[in-house]
Amino acid sequence: MENVEKKRKPGKIIVLGIFLATFFCSLSGQINDLITVKYLPQQFGGDSVMFGFTFSIFSLGKILTMILFARLSDKIGRKKILLIAFTLYSIGTFLAGIAQTPYQFMIFRLIKGTSAFEGVILALINDYYKEGERGKAIAIFSASFGIGALIGSILGGYFLIWFEYKTTFFILGFITLLSILFIFLYVTNHPDQKLERKSIENLKIYRKNELKRIFKTKSFIFGIILNIFLMFCLSGVSTYMIFIILNHYEIVEQLSGVILFPVILFYILCALLMGKKEYPIKIIRYGLVILSISLLSVIILFFYDNMIIFIIGAGISSGALGAISPAVDNFVSSFIPKSVRGETLGIYRTLSLIGSLFGAITAGLLGSVFWVFSPFLVMAIIAFISFLFSWFLLK
């Protein structure tokens, strides 16, 4: 029993460090996004299409570095890579304040996006927690984004009242420095990882065979496809929802946080309550059904365009996404061996970001060409297709 407790205690400290680091990034990111949605057109011009590309380029940055960082974390340790990743996030935030053109702003968002830490963090959690125990840790990691976004949505409306547009990005940059500090103070590599690196250092053939075996596994392939669809919906809902509230319903910045509060809170609660459960397949299936129905409910807005109805539908969708996201990560983590953990999870998260990359772009394009709420109908169809995949292929 004493040995078990000794192993769990470092894991809890590391989860705390992960939570605090991702929380401050999410807090800064949410304020950044609210300011970008409202003031990017005023500063540089543009419409919902430009808005979509501006958000999606952040995901492109993650795609460029996710696999590299995850693979390097297998070789030189998770902590070093996380310090590099969060430093890039901070640098990109600072640089956004000096952008003179929309293209410069996008380049700086791309730099910020290269902070692809999600795959490395998932690998770190798997280093310390075995199957049947990791659900809670993954749920806390997932919820940290929601909690940061919740507080950020409340503060974001006031930031430009207190500070100038460009000054805000410098302040947010200093906030992100806290993420680097918490990684430095609380995160440590698992002692077994160093031993594994030495013992398998020259066994490249073994690593390649393990990767080939995993990539041929039906469950792993489905997990990637499912998360691509999920990230498409998550990116589309989270970013386009802000665009709807600030531009379609024309809510003043000070009230935007109050409007978004119940939506983000429901995401957090579902991530914490359902994400920690150790039966991810059921959560995935039921969550996708609820997500499909809630997104489809925007049809009501065609006949009666009311913000309260929109917020209720968005809140239920957000809660379903909060429950599904950690469940999918937990499911995929269950059959990945230690020797290729970082690299495999990095590939999984990178491919998943394809959905995130196109989610905001698609929402922006559809919303500008067709009915303003049409992106949510497309996401409802994708969520239902994902459910069908889970029903017939997931076991």
Delimit the domains of the chain by residue range.
2-393
Confidence (pLDDT) at 385 = 87
Question: Can you tell me the distance from the alpha carbon of 77 to that of 79, in angstroms, rounded to the nearest whole number?
Answer: 6
**How deeply is 163 buried, as exposed, middle or buried, from its count of CB atoms within 10 A (0-12, 13-18, 19+)?**
middle
Question: Can you tell me the distance from the alpha carbon of 84 to that of 30, in angstroms, rounded to the nearest whole number?
Answer: 21
Confidence (pLDDT) at 7 = 44
**Consecutive 10-residue averages of pLDDT for the chain (395 residues):** 47 87 89 71 56 72 85 86 94 84 82 88 85 78 83 74 77 90 89 57 62 74 82 79 76 67 80 72 87 89 86 87 84 72 76 77 77 86 86 67
Question: Can you tell me the distance from the alpha carbon of 373 to that of 356, in angstroms, rounded to the nearest whole number?
Answer: 19
Question: Can you tell me the distance from the alpha carbon of 290 to that of 316, in angstroms, rounded to the nearest whole number?
Answer: 8
Closest CA to 286 of 320, 329, 322: 320
Sign of CA dihedral 351, 13, 320, 85: negative
Question: Can you tell me the distance from the alpha carbon of 319 to that of 377, in angstroms, rounded to the nearest whole number?
Answer: 17
Sign of CA dihedral 193, 198, 202, 206: negative
Question: Can you tell me the distance from the alpha carbon of 28 to that of 107, in angstroms, rounded to the nearest whole number?
Answer: 18
Question: Can you tell me the distance from the alpha carbon of 234 to that of 340, in angstroms, rounded to the nearest whole number?
Answer: 28
Buried b (16+ CB within 10 A) or exposed e, 51-73: bbbbbbbbbbbbbebbbebbbbb
Question: Can you tell me the distance from the alpha carbon of 327 to that of 279, in angstroms, rounded to the nearest whole number?
Answer: 8
* Crossing angle between the packed helical segments 341-369 and 218-243, to the nearest 10 degrees: 40
Question: Can you tell me the distance from the alpha carbon of 7 to that of 14, in angstroms, rounded to the nearest whole number?
Answer: 12
Question: Can you tell me the distance from the alpha carbon of 155 to that of 163, in angstroms, rounded to the nearest whole number?
Answer: 12
Confidence (pLDDT) at 90 = 93
Question: Can you tell me the distance from the alpha carbon of 44 to that of 101, in angstroms, rounded to the nearest whole number?
Answer: 6
Task: Indicate whether this model's pTM tops 0.85.
Answer: no
Confidence (pLDDT) at 20 = 92
Question: Can you tell me the distance from the alpha carbon of 201 to that of 186, in angstroms, rounded to the nearest whole number?
Answer: 27
Q: What is the DSSP letter of 335?
A: T
Helices (H), the chain: 2-44, 48-76, 78-96, 102-113, 118-128, 134-162, 165-186, 191-200, 204-215, 218-243, 253-275, 280-296, 300-303, 307-333, 341-369, 374-393
Tell me if 82 sits within 8 A of 31, measured CB to CB: no
Side chain identity at 168, as an amino acid letter?
T
Side chain identity at 70, as an amino acid letter?
A
Question: Can you tell me the distance from the alpha carbon of 77 to that of 71, in angstroms, rounded to the nearest whole number?
Answer: 10
Question: Can you tell me the distance from the alpha carbon of 127 to that of 338, in angstroms, rounded to the nearest whole number?
Answer: 8
Tell me if 327 sits within 8 A of 283, measured CB to CB: yes
Tell me if 188 sits within 8 A of 78, measured CB to CB: no
Confidence (pLDDT) at 84 = 94
Site of tokens 């496809």: 225
**Rounded to an integer, what is the distance from CA 27 to the centroid of its chain?**
13
Tell me if 126 sits within 8 A of 336, measured CB to CB: yes
Give the CATH architecture of domain 2-393. Up-down Bundle (1.20)
Let me know the angle formed at the C-alpha of 91 by 89 and 93, rounded to the nearest 5 degrees.
70
**Rounded to an integer, what is the distance from CA 390 to the centroid of its chain?**
21
Site of tokens 């489809």: 296
